[in-house]
């Protein structure tokens, strides 16, 4: 094979890969629009669809809430203690609370909650759908299956991220108060003033938007892949591709939030 032929073949492979990449993101956008349409449709919450929706929400949140709360509490206690001891050793105790809130509440907890829900709920659900279609040689799901099977799992993944992130943020704020001030109510004014100075309207809006976009990515990406893709190269390949795409989106959202908070 001469150099010109090899260069042309490489260009064609690159073009095919680019088209496939753009098509996958276009399908994800189309799937998100369809999910939004169902979320805004009253028929998605009628008596026939409510049991499936409630069951998926409970299955996505109840088993994960306890484990994630305990895990986040243990990690928060360890990190808060490290920050407090380090700040005391350098004479920077007054900055300990701000550092804890910014590192844990604003950055680590939302990202950890999204990753936890993805690994425990949405990625396995998407993989289960894809393997079921491959095993049964089924065609693409119709509108009824989209409403009864896909929408409840997408909504459950989104709600699980919201709930886990909110519970863990509140728990971390309480643990930070107890670790720094102890079991006394007299430090509440100083604590609320310090936390309020951190949670400005802009920072609060960025935190809420970050959690919302995290939840959309966690709920939509795994289910969109299993809805549109009809042929898979195997369980491992499909799971890894969804995981890479999901965590790439999470990383981009995290970078955007960092730029909004600190630049």
Residue 230 lies in a domain: yes
Three-state DSSP at 91 gives: coil
> What is the reported pLDDT for 43?
84
pLDDT for 5: 66
pLDDT, tens digit, 9 for 90 and up, residues 65-94:
888 989 999 999 999 989 888 888 888 778
> What single-letter DSSP state applies at residue 183?
S
Domain count across the chain: 1
Task: Establish if 149 belongs to a structural domain.
Answer: yes
> Residue 16 domain-assigned?
no
* Pair of tokens at residue 13: 């492979």
40 DSSP assignment: T
Name the band, by pLDDT with cuts 50, 70 and 90, for residue 165: very high
Answer whether residue 70 is part of any domain: yes
Q: DSSP letter at 138?
A: -
For 232, phi then psi, to 5°, come to -125, 150
Three-state SS for 117?
helix
* Residue 7 belongs to some domain of the structure: no
pLDDT digits (tens, 9 = 90+) for 208-246: 999 999 999 999 988 887 776 544 444 445 567 778 888
| 114 neighbors 222 (Cβ within 8 angstroms) | no
pLDDT of residue 240: 73
Distances (CA, A) of 177 to 55, 59, 101: 36, 32, 10
**Using one digit for the tens of pLDDT, what is the confidence trace for 243-256?**
888 888 999 999 99
18 in a structural domain: no
Mean pLDDT taken over the chain: 84
In a domain, 93, yes or no: yes
Most distant CA pair in the chain, distance: 80
Give the dihedral sign, CA 37/40/41/45.
Answer: positive
How far is 218 from 44, CA to CA, in rounded Å? 20
* Mean pLDDT on 138-145: 62
Token pair in block for residue 82: 């490290």
Domain range for 204:
52-262
How far apart, in whole angstroms, are the C-alpha atoms of residue 142 and residue 127? 18
Q: DSSP H helical segments within 107-200, as ranges? A: 109-117, 123-136, 143-145, 151-181, 188-198
- Report the range of poorest mean pLDDT among 6-10, 41-45, 182-186, 213-217: 6-10
pLDDT digits (tens, 9 = 90+) for 53-62: 899 899 889 8
Q: What is the pTM of this model?
A: 0.87
Confidence class of residue 124 from pLDDT cuts 50, 70 and 90?
confident
Residue 10 belongs to some domain of the structure: no
């Amino acid at each position: 094979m001469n150099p010109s032929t090899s260069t042309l073949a490489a260009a064609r492979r690159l073009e095919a890969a680019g088209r496939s990449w753009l098509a996958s993101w276009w399908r994800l956008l189309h799937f998100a629009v369809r999910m939004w349409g169902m979320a805004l449709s009253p028929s998605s919450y009628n008596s026939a669809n409510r049991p499936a929706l409630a069951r998926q929400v409970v299955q996505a949140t109840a088993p994960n809430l306890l484990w994630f709360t305990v895990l986040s509490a243990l990690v928060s206690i360890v990190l808060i203690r490290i920050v407090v001891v380090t700040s005391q050793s350098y004479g920077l105790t007054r900055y300990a609370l701000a550092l804890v809130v910014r590192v844990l509440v604003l950055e680590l907890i939302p990202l950890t909650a999204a990753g936890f829900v993805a690994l425990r709920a949405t990625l396995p659900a998407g993989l289960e759908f894809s393997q079921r279609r491959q095993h049964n040689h089924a065609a693409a799901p119709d509108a009824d299956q989209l409403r009864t099977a896909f929408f409840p799992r997408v909504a459950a993944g989104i709600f699980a991220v919201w709930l886990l992130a909110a519970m863990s943020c509140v728990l971390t704020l309480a643990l930070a108060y107890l670790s720094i001030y102890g079991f006394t109510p007299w430090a509440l004014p100083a604590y609320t003033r310090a936390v309020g100075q951190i949670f400005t309207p802009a920072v609060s809006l960025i935190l809420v938007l970050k959690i919302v976009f995290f939840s959309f990515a966690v709920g939509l990406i795994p289910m969109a892949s299993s809805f549109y893709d009809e042929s898979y190269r195997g369980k491992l390949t499909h799971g890894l591709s969804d995981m890479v795409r999901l965590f790439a989106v999470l990383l981009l959202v995290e970078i955007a939030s960092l730029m909004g908070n600190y630049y």
